[in-house]
């Protein structure tokens, strides 16, 4: 700081952003981060989970900042209601602190003490990536673009695999209620095998229920699938999503990664709002379970036939 208490101008380029939600949520923030970088200059210094480093490294003009923030900046933006985010924002050396949230019920009393302003116009049926971009309070350098990532380096590859030489299925996400029926996955795998001679790989995270579902699919398909469940790093996973010929996945990070990396994909939705979490492209499709008599959507109610029909359209 200067002797009169003002921040030194050379330290003002860029801004801080605070965000501590999951990987897929973070990727959907990329258009807003790009907008901030264009206005404030790069880099956008992202205060987030250290485990997100591989993902952040593929974002242009963004650098991860996992420790305490000491370098002064004029502006800080927070895009989630997580207590840790509010705490890190409180102690970050920024003159102006702004919070942008999707829903009013997420705003707590302490947000009004830390942030000025708190922007909550309410997310309805909008695509959340566009919602955050639209409500980022700086001038836009151009129109909204879908979240995008730079391609992972070859050093992140799973040994023995070649780009475009496999199909990737990802049957689990962080929420068990997003999981599809194992027998339906098995039928989907057999259909993919009938349409393509490419190896079919399967990934998942390492929770017991996730590994159990992958084991069930492996057993039901009789060894057609090569399971990489619990055997890949985030860097491997990003490389797989970037280099697959096709990604078939439940709603989650794999769907967002595939779209951002230009990989053809089909995302399966159950209870979450498809309009909020997916924006279709010519090569990135999604299908949702029908609504039950109680007004709720459940993955177990998603029949296999429309999924296979969607895959046929993607496979040509």
pLDDT tens digit sequence for 16-70: 999 999 999 999 999 999 999 999 999 999 999 999 999 999 999 999 998 889 9
pLDDT at 177 over 90: no
pLDDT tens digit sequence for 243-273: 999 999 999 999 999 999 999 999 999 999 9
> DSSP state, 16?
E
What confidence score (pLDDT) does residue 263 get? 98
What confidence score (pLDDT) does residue 207 get? 86
pLDDT at 289 over 50: yes
Question: What band does 3 get if pLDDT is binned at 50, 70 and 90?
Answer: very low
Of 254, 161, 153, which is closest to residue 199 (Cα–Cα)? 161
What confidence score (pLDDT) does residue 316 get? 86
CA angle 45, 51, 53 (to 5 degrees): 45
pLDDT at 157 over 80: yes
- On the CB side of 111, CA atoms within 13 Å amount to 21
The proportion of the chain whose per-residue pLDDT surpasses 70, expressed as a percent, equals 96
Q: Which domains does the chain have, with CATH numbers?
A: 9-134 (3.40.50.2000), 164-315 (3.40.50.2000)
- On the CB side of 88, CA atoms within 13 Å amount to 26
């Amino acid at each position: 700081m200067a002797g009169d208490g003002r921040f030194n101008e050379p330290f003002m380029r860029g801004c801080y952003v605070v965000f501590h939600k999951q990987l897929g949520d973070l990727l959907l923030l990329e258009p807003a981060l790009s907008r901030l970088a264009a206005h404030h200059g790069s880099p956008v210094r992202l205060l987030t989970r250290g485990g997100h480093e591989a993902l952040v490294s593929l974002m242009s003009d963004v650098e991860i900042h996992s420790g305490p923030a000491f370098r002064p900046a004029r502006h800080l933006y927070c895009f989630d209601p997580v207590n840790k985010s509010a705490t890190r924002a409180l102690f970050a050396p920024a003159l102006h602190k702004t919070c942008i949230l999707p829903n009013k019920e997420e705003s707590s009393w302490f947000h009004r003490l830390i942030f000025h302003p708190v922007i909550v116009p309410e997310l309805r049926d909008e695509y959340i990536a566009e919602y955050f971009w639209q409500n980022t309070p700086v001038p836009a350098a151009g129109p909204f673009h879908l979240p995008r990532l730079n391609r992972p380096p070859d050093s992140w590859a799973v040994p023995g695999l070649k780009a475009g030489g496999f199909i990737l299925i990802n049957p689990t996400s962080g929420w068990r209620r997003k999981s599809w029926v194992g027998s339906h996955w098995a039928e989907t795998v057999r259909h993919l095998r009938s349409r393509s001679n490419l190896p079919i790989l399967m990934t998942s995270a390492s929770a017991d229920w996730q590994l159990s579902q992958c084991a069930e699919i492996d057993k039901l398909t009789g060894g057609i699938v090569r399971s990489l469940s619990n055997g890949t790093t985030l860097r491997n996973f990003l490389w797989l999503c970037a280099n697959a010929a096709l990604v078939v996945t439940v709603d989650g990070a794999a769907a967002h990664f595939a779209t951002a990396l230009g990989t053809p994909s089909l995302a399966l939705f159950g209870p979450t709002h498809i309009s909020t979490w997916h924006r279709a492209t010519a090569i990135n499709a999604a299908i949702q379970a029908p609504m039950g008599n109680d007004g709720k959507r459940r993955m177990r109610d998603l029949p296999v036939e429309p999924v296979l029909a969607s895959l046929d359209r993607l496979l040509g």
